[in-house]
Structure 1
């Protein structure tokens, strides 16, 4: 005969309020003081503890001249209950701080160009208003930034076009940027001339790698003039292009604002192309059905204000 063994789990229907009363009696070792903290009366506190002891089948307190002493069973229970209440109180404090924007966390996934050209000044203003909010920043190329947002790992994303945005995400344009070709003195023969793209393509090119929207953008730009984009140097980040150009390694493409951020660029020159580089857009993305904390909503409102300025024609307001 086969014998079956069952593990029996007894679930007790004990209310949170009962454990709350137990927590304060155990904390202060006093029924009277616990009643005062709970704004209750002592008979109700005593009755609640008796009911809890009956439900658990053990004695939790032993009264003495020193007050209410915990029994060994009470000590074990208090060890668990005190940890639980500490977590609850921490959660309540965090939510209260977040409501007043004295705390909280905002998580953003952003491409490097969108971070430098658009997001940094917004974050600076946000930090001035809400210094208690922590900002968690993921720096990704546009495709990865979109994936992070789709997977719910960020509150929203800031990306540069071209971008394949799925229907599950909302998209708003924040601003447009103009990128320009630049080179150093090693290629000074290019300075002061109107250049065709085929002429420029004869020189060593510096560009981001194939897994970026920047590479896709310039691949399309070159293809429209029946050229293939074949960078001699692939930079890992947009921030690396300007130092590489200054190091005389080749011709690069950077947003105009990168040059302004450097406080002048006497050691490099902006080149003049006969066919201008099309403008790119920086876009704000969020999930259509995603809960945002108060802290995230406030930053979203600032970004959407910038979007509204762009839509009204004030692209330079960011």
Structure 2
């Protein structure tokens, strides 16, 4: 097994086709097929299957694909870090963001990085916190934003913003505060377990000895907001996730009190993974963009930045 074979294999899985992969990798298709046959022979297992739907990995191939992505990523990071000594940040940086964070941070961050570091290729992946945590542990991300992080040996973290949670209601509900106890009579639209927001709500409910009425479980921020706007039920979200809808009066936001529900957003990165010049530049840019967003009220919350992580 060598790096070239791994790149070819990843290219085929990504494209779902030998022909498309050959074009992307700029290699003749017979040579590509020959390399994959050699790889399968070396490993003693079939890695790919062909059908009318295209080329897909076998169970063994899927596992190799996961390892290959990490291996190739580490090789690329090593290359980029050495090249970074030229003084101009370059290379790729991958960040994982939960949907509510991506909604407010992704666009201004991309604009700033593109303007200041044109040789840096920024990739933003939007996913659930559990998936982002998994990718951080696997070394697939340079950074990831997570909520309410507990210190761990697997990754370093630094707090960014603390934000209150609101009851998000259909139009006409008003914006007066609501006590947490009063949520027991509200039909809720919330993510399914083990989503962090769902667990935060249920923990508070247990502490207050009340039962929440979960009417709908759906793991999608846009769908949750649409259902609330149509009067199907209410939800619990951060204010930053619904600012546009509140301004348009398509939904209402009521701050939850007694107790106030608050969560903190942390920037995390894998421990032991060298920080490339490009990743360091993107981190600094992200913190500056974040300060601006909070200062301008675009991201409602309390700034927690102290200028350093807990390395």
Contact 1:103 1:133 in 2 (8 A): yes
Question: Which residue of 143, 150, 153 corresponds with 2:130?
Answer: 143
Greater CA deviation, 146-155 or 232-241? 232-241
The reply to whether residue 177 of structure 1 matches residue 163 of structure 2 is yes
Structure 1 match to 2:152: 166
SS at the partner of 2:214? coil
Provide the aligned C-alpha RMSD in A. 3.5
Structure 2 match to 1:199: 182
Question: Which residue of 219, 222, 226 corresponds with 1:236?
Answer: 219
For the residues of structure 1 that align with 2:80 and 2:201, how far apart are their CA atoms? Answer: 50
Structure 1 match to 2:139: 152
For the residues of structure 2 that align with 1:286 and 1:94, how far apart are their CA atoms? Answer: 16
Unmatched tracts of structure 2, length 5 or more: 1-77, 295-300, 306-311
Contact 2:142 2:279 in 1 (8 A): yes
Q: 1:242 offset after TM fit, Å?
A: 1.6
Greater Rg over alpha carbons, structure: 1
Structure 1 match to 2:94: 107
SS at the partner of 1:201? helix
Contact 2:164 2:255 in 1 (8 A): no
Q: 1:154 offset after TM fit, Å?
A: 0.8
Contact 2:164 2:262 in 1 (8 A): yes
The reply to whether residue 315 of structure 1 matches residue 298 of structure 2 is no
Structure 2 match to 1:260: 243
For the residues of structure 2 that align with 1:263 and 1:274, how far apart are their CA atoms? Answer: 19
Contact 1:98 1:295 in 2 (8 A): no
Q: 1:220 offset after TM fit, Å?
A: 1.4
Unmatched tracts of structure 1, length 5 or more: 1-90
Q: 1:131 offset after TM fit, Å?
A: 2.9
For the residues of structure 2 that align with 1:195 and 1:255, how far apart are their CA atoms? Answer: 15
* Cα 1:98–1:146 shift into 2, 3 Å: farther
Q: 1:200 offset after TM fit, Å?
A: 2.6
Q: 1:210 offset after TM fit, Å?
A: 0.7
Q: How does 1:1-318 map to 2 (within 5 A)?
A: 99=86, 101=88, 103-161=90-148, 163-185=149-171, 188=172, 190-191=173-174, 195-262=178-245, 264-271=247-254, 273-303=256-286, 315=303
Contact 1:114 1:160 in 2 (8 A): no
